[in-house]
Homo-oligomer: A and B are copies of this chain.
Amino acid sequence: MTELGRRERKKLQTRQSIAEAALRLFLDRGFDDVGVKEIADTADVSVTTLFKHFPSKEALLFDEDEEQESALVEVVRNREGRSIPMALRDHFVQAAEGHADHPQFEVFQRLVLETPALREYGHRMWTRHQDALARAIAEETGAPPDDVRCAALARFALDARDVIFDRPDRARAADEVFGLLEHGWAGDRQR
């Protein structure tokens, strides 16, 4: 256990109150119609302080990051008999279903999807995991750590999420897209 001193507790607290204020205001009035100044005021903090905690306005909405990466690596490493693409597919489907519970998350997701700056930032954060995922895949298949095919599969799997999220029936879409990665384009339909 990591014992947190008063200082670090307070720091975490201000950070959280900033993030909460931002989320609330953004959901209320949209990303572009809320200024950083207003967020800082709402959180009762100076603008300078806000930027000491978050590197950009967009970052106010994307807090969790390392968990996702380790989850991805874990999925690749610990998959019970399934192929890597199938394990990843299950992971994404499961994640989507897990979020479907909280209606709060749907709203958040729509905000991100409908705000170009946020969508882009989210994508950038997401694809940061490419290298880690590629290394995990390489390690798992005995390929060299910088193998091209592993890098490609990592990239494709990461981007597959975006392709799938735009579709109404996500489970079906996931099947088709990851099926493509699993069996290849030339598998069944066309030349």
Which positions in A face B, CB cutoff 8 Å? 83-85, 120, 124, 141-143, 148-149, 151-153, 155-156, 159-160, 162-164, 167, 172-173, 176-177, 180-187, 189-191
Contact = CB atoms under 8 A, between A and B. Distances in A.
A180 to B, nearest CB: 6
B153 A156 contact: no
Given A141-B190, A176-B149, A84 B185 contact: yes
Contact of A83 (B180, B182, B186): B186
A191 B141 CA distance: 8
A153 B185 contact: yes
B155 A163 contact: yes
Please classify the interface of chain A as helix (H, G, I), strand (E, B), loop, or mixed, using the class held by over half of its residues.
helix
Given A141-B190, A182-B186, A184-B181, A163 B167 contact: no
A182 to B, nearest CB: 6
Nearest to A164: B148
Nearest to A162: B155
A167 B184 CA distance: 23
Contacts of A184: 180-187
Given A184-B182, A185-B85, A176 B190 contact: no
Contacts of A190: 84, 141-143
Contact of A176 (B142, B152, B180, B186): B152
A27 B180 CA distance: 41
A148 B148 CA distance: 25
A185 B83 contact: yes
A145 to B, nearest CB: 14
A148 B167 contact: yes
Contact of A163 (B151, B162, B163): B151
